[in-house]
Copies of this chain bind each other. A is one copy, B any other.
Amino acid sequence: MDFALDERAREFRERARVFLEEHVMPAEPVLDEQLAASPHEWGVRPIVRELQAEARAQGLWNLFLPGENGAGLTNLQYAPVAEVTGWSPRLAPAAFNCAAPDTGNMEVLNDFGTPEQKDRWLDPLLRAEIRSSFCMTEPDTASSDATNIATRIRRDGDDCIVTGRKWWSTGAMNPDAAIFIVMGKTDPEAERHRQQSMILVPRDSPGVRIVRPLSVFGYDDRDHGGHAEIAFDEVRVPAINLIGDEGSGFAIAQARLGPGRIHHCMRALGMGERTLALVRERANERHTFGRTLAEQGVVREWAAESRIQLEALRLLVLKTAWLMDTVGNRRAMTEIQAIKIAVPRAVQTIVDRAIQVFGAAGVSADTPLAELYAGIRSLRIADGPDEVHLSSLGRAELRV
């Protein structure tokens, strides 16, 4: 047992950290200006393109992806880098081409795509020339129970016809999101976990209609491409757009979930660290009732609790990454579920306390806290609310 990061992980973390300080943090106000200047546009702003060019030049690119298409980092090596990107969730993940949902979509194409699908969609994604969306959740279905999916994918000769309605398709408001991976049922009569398939639906296919953007606590996440409700009305695509075999949709979704969840958790730790850094600064400069906030018992207690939580949960995230590297994603499912529950919840509490420390500034746009809060709060719902995962984890724990 050894708790020291290896050489390569330390090197990449340090490079990412320097990039964050030198390029990303100074870019945050620039992004705000660019957003203010084009309040109705969806999609990547120029500053992100600049950061991407710089990051790519530095080799800080596609680090999330194991294997030859990425930078060859293990999950354990990538974890500290991902944490660094969590300090600036609007900019850093995109700068490194490590932003959801593109990461998960690239993984799916990388692991399950045909050579043609890779040429057509994976390559431009790896170069950040296009973006993508993942169309899984449906408005009228409890998304925690994937077997309920109502979207249909019907074979019709060499084509497939996709019909259904999706929402919370992150990034899909962005016109650059050229390709949608859509989950639907190809055979509702098949065995419960063999009914679903995934299919690639180009954005410009006839019958695809972006219904509306969805907001999260008043934020539209415009710079990330937002979250769309999308209607698929008899959308015809060639059957070669199916990913993997017919009926493999559930299995592919499961495979996609593990890395997706751990990446979220890694970044969440960085969000927590940034929040603590903001608190540290504020607590030392703000005076009330004749003392700095840093001298108030309750602020100290919060700082201590936050530190303990971050230290313990980081180790659990790292162990999970190590398990994924050594025994595989499937055998790490318990730990993946554990961090999926525990990390966002802890970071939510950390951000919430920080808001109390900042007072009114904390809920406004003058600090990143309120937007961080909205983001981390949503993670407790994304792909199933905490309670579903707790119940599943508890059932496993009580098994005799």
Contacts and interface: CB of A to CB of B under 8 A. Distances in A.
A371 interface: yes
A359 B315 contact: no
A215 B364 contact: yes
Interface string A298-339: 111111111110011101101100110000000000010010
A160 B53 CA distance: 57
A296 B380 CA distance: 18
Interface stretch (A84-92, A186-194, A286-294): A286-294
Contacts of A215: 218, 364-365, 370
A390 B300 contact: yes
A142 interface: yes
A394 interface: yes
A123 B387 CA distance: 53
A71 interface: no
Interface residues of A, number: 94
A365 B214 contact: yes
Contacts of A316: 308, 311-312, 315
Interface in A1-45: 1-6, 9
A277 to B, nearest CB: 10
Contacts of A279: 398
Contacts of A286: 142
A298 B341 contact: no
Nearest to A79: B1
A303 B1 contact: no
A297 interface: yes
Given A1-B9, A217-B363, A312-B315, A302 B394 contact: yes
B299 A298 contact: no
B370 A217 contact: yes
A397 B303 contact: yes
A269 to B, nearest CB: 12
A174 to B, nearest CB: 18
A392 B301 CA distance: 9
Nearest to A288: B142
Interface string A198-234: 0000000000000000111111100000000000000
B394 A303 contact: yes
A319 B3 contact: yes
A178 interface: no
Contact of A341 (B287, B304, B318, B355): B304
Identify the interface centre among A139, A167, A305: most chain B CB within 10 Å of its CB.
A305
Interface string A40-82: 0000000000000000000000000000000000001000000
Interface in A358-388: 359-366, 370-371, 373-374, 377-378, 380-382, 385-388
B387 A359 contact: no
Given A214-B364, A218-B371, A363-B374, A308 B342 contact: yes
B390 A363 contact: no
A338 B304 CA distance: 8
Contacts of A362: 381
Given A281-B400, A335-B311, A301 B390 contact: yes
A173 interface: no
A377 B363 contact: yes
A144 B1 contact: no
Interface of A: 1-6, 9, 76, 137, 139, 142-145, 167-168, 214-220, 276, 279-281, 283-284, 286-289, 294, 296-308, 311-313, 315-316, 318-319, 322-323, 335, 338, 341-342, 355-356, 359-366, 370-371, 373-374, 377-378, 380-382, 385-395, 397-400
